[in-house]
Structure 1
């Protein structure tokens, strides 16, 4: 069944007989139904599929953040799709034949808000990570009330811990506490700021690979 989107003379989406209607880059198009392809995928295609699955699986837990705070969201690509494309193109390296994520290249958020200044993270006893940064509340479009957030990923466990609105930019420090089962584990850490209206964020900052105490 097809759906007409702009009246009887407009574009449509879906399948009608042997044609398919869709919107591509803002243009209404129709194309014939693709024929089944019995040809096995090439090595290049298999590698791209592997990269795509790696990135999709990794980013899935932060999808709600990226839906709000990755890029402008204009045009035909969603913010989530832009995050996937960026990560595949900029944050993957090959180790032999195996694609691997470069965590220092990963962006959790991407935007025009002024970011942290000289941020640092230090593990504390009790699975605590202490965050510190310098005051830049008067820089560009920064504001003292911007909200600080932290995203932690444990590769060994394959899990994320997300801490949203933990404090404001002007506070210059914050502690986050991970669950007890993270004791002694290595944690990848990113932080980012968003404005109080939740309409704008900065590029996330990667603070490194930390071992919890």
Structure 2
């Protein structure tokens, strides 16, 4: 049963079909939906799509935490909410009600920093080498940005990543990959983040290796 807080002038708890509570210093209310006995095939497909995305994110949580935390600042949402909302809308597709991830549409970081320019990735005996164009005359603060690089192995349900790599001015970075994994299918992502983690670029997709 809900109650009224005379100090803040707000309700707290369940009242009728709504729940009132505090989140990140803000007053929030959410409705309580009616339960239905039967769920359609499309509803189950939506649930499957969420499980698919959550499985992906569970392996790369530190990466998306850095990638979306600034977007969540000052809102009642957290980094995981924002990453999920964007990618569920843009990166999940269905074939005969079976969900799959469109890796070329996945966004693992979101912000206003300059993204990698003319970037590419190649394999070496030790792993992956990332290269990009070093832009001239950038502000000093931008030149201090560091790489965020990630390889996702969808057939193995595993990921390798680094969220504090070389500086923007270096023009190259390397992600170590065990030899046994170098022939596996990989989905590759790249972004930049400031040294203080207060600014990040949108991630870019560098394609599939061993597809």
TM over 0.5: yes
**Separation (CA, whole Å) in 2 of partners of 1:29 and 1:104:** 36
Pairs within 5 Å for 1:119-198: 119-126=119-126, 128-136=127-135, 138-139=137-138, 143-198=142-197
Q: TM-score, normalised by structure 1?
A: 0.83
**Separation (CA, whole Å) in 1 of partners of 2:191 and 2:67:** 10
**1:136-186 Cα distance to aligned partner (Å, 9 max, x none):** 263479622100121110011100111122200000012211123313111
Q: TM-score, normalised by structure 2?
A: 0.83
Q: Which has the higher strand share?
A: 1
The runs of 5 or more residues in structure 2 that have no matched partner are none
Name which of 35, 41, 46 aligns with 2:44: 46
Q: Which has the higher helix share?
A: 2
The structure 1 segments of at least 4 consecutive aligned residues displaced by more than 6 Å after TM superposition are 1-4, 16-19
The runs of 5 or more residues in structure 1 that have no matched partner are none
TM-superposed CA distance for 1:54, in Å, is 1.2
**Which of 188-197 and 44-53 deviates more?**
44-53
TM-superposed CA distance for 1:29, in Å, is 3.8
Name which of 52, 56, 59 aligns with 1:61: 59
Name the Cα RMSD after superposition.
3.1
Q: Is the 8 A contact 1:114 1:140 kept in 2?
A: no
